[in-house]
Structure 1
């Protein structure tokens, strides 16, 4: 009698692919919701009769909520794992967008924006910490492709907002918000089954958690500073690329295309970033990309031509596309709190950068002010090796 050899077939939940698919959805939701909110903000301002100063207070409330959420999310993920930071924060994120559509006073808008930012921050840390864990399970770079889902989601959200510009914004906010909350509720069984979100299974290195080594504070601050430098460039593209094209006497359509070109280039870079990291290593990819970003945008500022400016903004998006994902991956070696700190520091660059550029432009010129993201991209290229080397 011959024995039949049986090859054990692992259950699907033991494969990180399901966790990766879930995270693609989470990052895409983050992009869609943020783009819808940002694209219809002028309508919110007009409907609530907010001047620039009062609108700034609403945005400040959202920023404060985000910073609190990033710190809170890092603490919770460190103690309990990031999987529990996905469904509930995503549902609150969507419902708070719907709530923003119902607010008409400064007080209610600020309160809803604080909740919106808080949910965003917690969800951001949950998604990025879970991504670090899933990347460790894969034992190869996947962070860039996950972040590409955010870029694609943002493009889709912006397109949706543009296509429904004829409709009242509360209808759009309620629709996107309720769909987000429903998707979050439907994902709960999948999140419970996708065990790699909280770290690799047997045979792989232990995930970040309470037992994770504490990252050296200086290394975390360096990663955060470079993330802030990169995200300042993203804020510059969002708020100043069209203004820059206007100073070059470009048409309205050409000026509006500047941010779209930047976003498309960034999404493309993130889609191919993991393959580049696997072939050349993240240090080389980030350093080369940041050099491209600085050279491309710097050249267009010197030449002062609208067509060259479009190429310059595309170079900035493509060049910086893999930097933040690589910095988050590096922060993940220090555990969820390190991820939260790096993300919080990075978002300060995104939030404060456009205002700093505006202040410089007010005493000089827009092209002169835009040398700030050029200089910071060059700094990222210079310090990439020191920040990303394994310690």
Structure 2
């Protein structure tokens, strides 16, 4: 074996550390932005409707970034979408801290979302390539770094409420920009971020068909999973309140969900390697549906807390596995699956709210239960399509 061949066959640990940082930075910035949103709303004197317009701008920008990112990664390589979008991501967070008018906030949020989408495609597509070079599953652990980053960002925002939000945005944004610029030499030297040749999959991990039908099915399953995440973010505390829990207990529901999600992703690669992606995703989705379904049916605070915990644990490996499957169809497939998935995250809470207005909160929350069950039933077809 030549020295070059030996170097290329070695596990690309530097590449993996680089992507771990990229996913973690994405989680930290998004958590800081979301956690201090009420302070931004108050400083800019935004009504609820105006704040919704700002968030819509971010959503539109993110979807556009996912679509454009797929084309750019396909043409120039996904590593080109690591440094630049991260610099923009951090810089725009600094700018958003200084915005006080609705037009400037909408424009800033749109660019913020655009950078998010570009970085999402770049990081996930690079992760597929590095996972191939590793010759074993690592996608779940990379997504775990996003979950840990989000928890860290939320904790930072919660423990620095004495600090003006614009100072926090400036600090986090500046650190993000500097950290991204510091990785330029590492990205340029990385061997596997754009390498699509070094895959050696086991039989049950053979590349699925990249047909449009398969990509849409993967996207639909991702949407179902991310709708569950949106439900946890926006409705878990409301659900606990409907059961007459205290404020702290209601807040604990999402904390338990997040901790279970991070734990599941921490061990997800080992489970997927041992049992296969299809088995783990199907079993996890079944656990999510049964756990939250039981929590809704029993209707007590302890059962509800266990239900949200089961949802986080059960869905933890699903999106990483779906992204891995989509990635073998190329960057545009990753972008399509991510964009479709985020539609579930963005529209799901509103759909649950509409159902709750017609029925009740527990009845409306049957929607993520049903979708988790659908993921369990359809995972085999999506992940093992040829």
Structure-1-length-normalised TM-score = 0.94
- For residue 254 of structure 1, the aligned residue among 246, 249, 261 is 249
1:3 counterpart residue number? none
- For residue 28 of structure 2, the aligned residue among 26, 32, 49 is 32
How many angstroms does 1:215 deviate by?
Answer: 2.0
Task: Encode CA deviations 1:109-153: one digit per residue, 9 max, x unaligned.
Answer: 000000000000000000000000001111111100000000000
CA–CA separation in structure 1 for the residues paired with 2:358 and 2:52: 21
Q: Does the CA-based 8 Å contact 1:29-1:180 persist in structure 2?
A: yes
> Per the alignment, in what secondary structure is the counterpart of residue 98 of structure 2?
coil
CA–CA separation in structure 2 for the residues paired with 1:148 and 1:24: 9
- For residue 138 of structure 2, the aligned residue among 118, 136, 142 is 142
Change (3 A) 1:213 1:272: closer
- 1:51 paired with 2:47, answer yes
Total equivalences in the alignment: 380
Matches within 5 A, 1:270-349: 270-349=265-344
How many angstroms does 1:177 deviate by?
Answer: 0.3
In structure 2, list runs of 5 or more residues that go unmatched.
202-206
Q: Does the CA-based 8 Å contact 2:9-2:133 persist in structure 1?
A: no
2:176 counterpart residue number? 180
Structure-2-length-normalised TM-score = 0.95
CA–CA separation in structure 1 for the residues paired with 2:360 and 2:208: 47
How many angstroms does 1:214 deviate by?
Answer: 8.4
1:266 counterpart residue number? 261
Q: Does the CA-based 8 Å contact 1:14-1:195 persist in structure 2?
A: no
Change (3 A) 1:213 1:327: closer
Task: Encode CA deviations 1:208-254: one digit per residue, 9 max, x unaligned.
Answer: xxxx9982111000000000000000000000000000001111000
> Per the alignment, in what secondary structure is the counterpart of residue 141 of structure 1?
coil
> Per the alignment, in what secondary structure is the counterpart of residue 91 of structure 1?
helix
CA–CA separation in structure 1 for the residues paired with 2:257 and 2:53: 28
CA–CA separation in structure 2 for the residues paired with 1:90 and 1:325: 21
1:355 counterpart residue number? 350
How many angstroms does 1:12 deviate by?
Answer: 8.4
- 1:105 paired with 2:101, answer yes
> Per the alignment, in what secondary structure is the counterpart of residue 99 of structure 2?
coil
Change (3 A) 1:15 1:358: same
CA–CA separation in structure 2 for the residues paired with 1:13 and 1:116: 37
How many angstroms does 1:96 deviate by?
Answer: 0.8
CA–CA separation in structure 2 for the residues paired with 1:11 and 1:320: 36
CA–CA separation in structure 2 for the residues paired with 1:192 and 1:85: 12
In structure 1, list runs of 5 or more residues that go unmatched.
1-5, 207-211
